[in-house]
Every structure is written in structure tokens, then in C-alpha cells.
């Protein structure tokens, strides 16, 4: 375990991690603690606005995100767990940095100036910034050759405006391989999970999710690892194939390798039970 002093970061869990994906939240906080990062949750955060505010009103999307940005303790970077929340909050940050009228509205609404140096960091970026030794330093348990496919969904898709920013592709494979798991190659790592269409158009999402599982099974992987709680839920609820694979949150495997003891609570919450596979690999108990 890292012995250096803890580094403070502001933290935005988002609605999914606060509710349906509590296991992702708990394992992420546990993992951060072990790599020396202390997360300070925004005191009264609200929904980032999600796809729905973005789809219907630009102003509302910006205002909802701004209320969260106004709660960040001065000078601290903000860590966000969910790729979709990261996108919405970072879009708002970018808009505020480039539009004086938006900054005026921000100050009038929240009684504080917008911090133009604000940094918003997704969980994967945090891991990228740690060196390999930091990430695996002190891990207690090898992942024993667990065969997995990494599933990024749409999170690595960068529209033209941010195309020159860094590409985090391959990070889950790299870090989990350092911890003893075995990544399998496949072509569905960046296929969209269907997000909100899962509710109104399950007929369009089910075949897509089934194709993702089919491809994963073909690689002989024993599980799918996701970095997004929305992807996790859609994969779990929309797979109608008989032969399924458990879907694990990236943070769950990280924390498991670091010897976190409270994992029974996490794995019991999965709709596709990951415990048989993890037991086969000697990773539980």
C-alpha cells in the first residue's frame, strides 16, 4: 500500500454511481484511497443533465452542470467517475472558459467567479497519470490470468473539436495485465451500448448488446470489463442470449487486486453473477 500523503480531489459520483451502480462507487473510492487519492464529494451535487437536458435545451444543460462546478473547492481538480457526466461537465467548463456572457451568468447564479484554471479528470485519466508502479504498487492479489475483454463503449470517441486530445485507448488492458489478468483482442471495445434507447427502443438495443456478447464469448474471455456504469447496466439488462458473461466494473477488479475486503457486497448486486467465474480463478475468499 502506498505510504505517501493522500492527495485531495473533488469528486462527482453522478446519479448512476449513487444508485444503480453503488458497487462501482464503493470500489472506486476504495481503489483511490489505496493509490493515495482522497476524494471529497461535492456537498450537494445535482444530476449533470445527462443526454436528456443536452437533447432538449442547451441552456438548461449548461446551468445544471454549472451548479456542480460552483461547488468545487477552490484549486482542486474534479474527479468524475462516469464518462457521460465527464463529457457534460467538461463541455460546460469549456463553454464557460470561452464565453464571457456565460461566466457572467455563472457569477450571478452562484455568487462566485468561475475558476478558469479548473481541471476535470475522468477516472481513467487519473490512472493514466499514475505510473505503472503506482497503479500496481502494493497489490495483494494477482488476478491469476483472468481472461477479459475491455469494453469502453463510446467514451473514447472524440468528436472533431477534441480530436487532438489524448487517447486513453488500451489503458484498461495495460493496467489489468500488470495486475495479472489477460486481455483478449476483439472488435467491439468501442461499440455503443445504446444508452437511453434501452428504454424507448429495446428492439434496437437488444440485437446490438447480443452481438457484443457473442463477440466477447468468441474470444474465450470469461468476463467483460466496463469503465461506464451506463454500459454496465445496458449490457446486463439487455442481453437475451443464453450464454452470457459476467460484466465487471473496472474499479471492482482494481480494488479486488488491491485486496479490498468488502467485495461480497458489490458482486451480490450484479444481475449476471460474476462469483462463479471469479471463484474458478481463485479470486474470491
Residues that bind another protein (CB under 8 A): 15, 18-20, 44-47, 49-60, 63-64, 67, 109, 153-154, 157-161, 163, 190-192, 194-197, 199-204, 208, 233, 237, 268-271
Distance, in Å, from the CA atom of 100 to the CA atom of 82, rounded to the nearest integer, reads 28
C-alpha cell at 265: 457486497
Residue 125: burial class (beta carbons within 10 Å; 0-12, 13-18, 19+): middle
For the bound state, the minimum distance from the C-beta of residue 222 to another protein, rounded and expressed in Å, comes to 21
For the bound state, the minimum distance from the C-beta of residue 17 to another protein, rounded and expressed in Å, comes to 10
Q: Which is nearer to another protein, 35 or 78 (CB)?
A: 78
Q: Which is nearer to another protein, 139 or 191 (CB)?
A: 191
Q: Which is nearer to another protein, 31 or 45 (CB)?
A: 45
Would you give the end-to-end CA distance of the chain in angstroms?
20
C-alpha cell at 95: 463553454
For the bound state, the minimum distance from the C-beta of residue 145 to another protein, rounded and expressed in Å, comes to 28
For the bound state, the minimum distance from the C-beta of residue 64 to another protein, rounded and expressed in Å, comes to 6
For the bound state, the minimum distance from the C-beta of residue 2 to another protein, rounded and expressed in Å, comes to 31
Q: Are 2 and 35 in contact (CB under 8 A)?
A: yes
Residue labelled with grid coordinates 477552490: 74
Distance, in Å, from the CA atom of 105 to the CA atom of 253, rounded to the nearest integer, reads 42
Q: Which is nearer to another protein, 44 or 243 (CB)?
A: 44
For the bound state, the minimum distance from the C-beta of residue 62 to another protein, rounded and expressed in Å, comes to 9
C-alpha cell at 222: 470469461
Q: Which is nearer to another protein, 40 or 197 (CB)?
A: 197
C-alpha cell at 43: 456537498
Q: Which of 261, 231, 247 is nearest to 30 (CA)?
A: 261
Q: Which is nearer to another protein, 34 or 54 (CB)?
A: 54
What distances in angstroms separate CA 207 from CA 115, 125, 201, 257, one per listed residue?
45, 31, 11, 33
Residue 50's φ and ψ, nearest 5 degrees, are 55, -170
Residue 8's φ and ψ, nearest 5 degrees, are -85, 140
Residue labelled with grid coordinates 484498461: 172
Q: Which is nearer to another protein, 179 or 206 (CB)?
A: 206
For the bound state, the minimum distance from the C-beta of residue 210 to another protein, rounded and expressed in Å, comes to 13
Eight-class DSSP state of 29: H
Q: Which is nearer to another protein, 177 or 197 (CB)?
A: 197
For the bound state, the minimum distance from the C-beta of residue 18 to another protein, rounded and expressed in Å, comes to 5
Q: Are 234 and 193 in contact (CB under 8 A)?
A: yes
Task: Calculate ∠ Cα 173-270-225, nearest 5°.
Answer: 10
Amino acid at each position: 500500500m502506498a505510504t505517501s500523503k493522500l492527495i485531495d480531489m473533488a469528486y462527482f459520483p453522478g446519479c448512476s454511481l449513487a444508485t444503480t451502480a453503488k458497487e462501482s462507487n464503493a470500489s472506486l473510492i476504495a481503489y483511490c484511497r489505496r493509490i493515495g487519492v482522497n476524494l471529497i464529494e461535492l456537498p450537494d451535487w445535482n444530476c449533470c443533465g445527462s443526454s436528456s437536458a443536452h437533447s432538449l435545451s442547451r441552456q438548461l444543460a449548461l446551468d445544471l452542470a454549472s451548479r456542480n462546478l460552483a461547488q468545487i473547492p477552490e484549486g482542486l481538480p474534479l474527479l468524475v467517475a462516469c464518462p457521460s457526466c465527464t463529457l457534460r461537465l467538461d463541455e460546460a467548463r469549456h463553454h464557460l472558459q470561452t464565453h464571457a456572457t456565460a461566466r457572467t451568468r455563472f457569477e450571478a447564479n452562484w455568487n462566485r467567479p468561475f475558476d478558469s484554471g479548473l481541471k476535470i479528470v475522468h477516472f481513467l485519466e487519473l490512472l493514466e497519470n499514475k505510473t505503472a508502479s503506482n497503479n500496481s504498487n502494493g497489490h495483494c492479489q494477482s488476478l491469476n490470468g483472468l481472461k477479459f475483454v475491455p469494453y469502453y463503449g463510446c467514451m473514447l470517441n472524440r468528436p472533431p473539436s477534441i480530436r487532438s486530445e489524448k487517447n486513453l485507448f488500451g489503458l484498461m488492458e495495460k493496467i489489468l495485465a500488470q495486475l495479472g489478468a489477460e486481455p483478449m483482442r476483439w472488435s467491439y471495445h468501442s461499440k455503443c451500448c445504446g444508452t437511453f434507447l434501452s428504454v424507448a427502443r429495446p428492439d434496437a438495443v437488444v440485437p446490438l448488446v447480443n452481438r457484443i456478447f457473442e463477440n466477447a464469448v468468441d474470444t474465450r474471455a470469461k468476463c467483460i470489463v466496463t469503465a461506464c456504469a451506463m454500459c454496465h447496466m445496458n449490457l446486463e439488462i439487455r442481453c437475451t442470449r443464453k450464454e452470457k458473461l459476467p460484466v465487471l466494473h473496472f474499479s471492482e477488479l482494481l480494488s479486488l487486486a488491491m485486496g479490498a475486503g468488502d467485495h461480497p457486497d458489490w458482486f451480490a448486486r450484479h444481475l449476471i453473477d460474476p462469483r462463479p467465474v471469479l471463484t474458478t480463478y481463485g479470486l474470491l475468499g
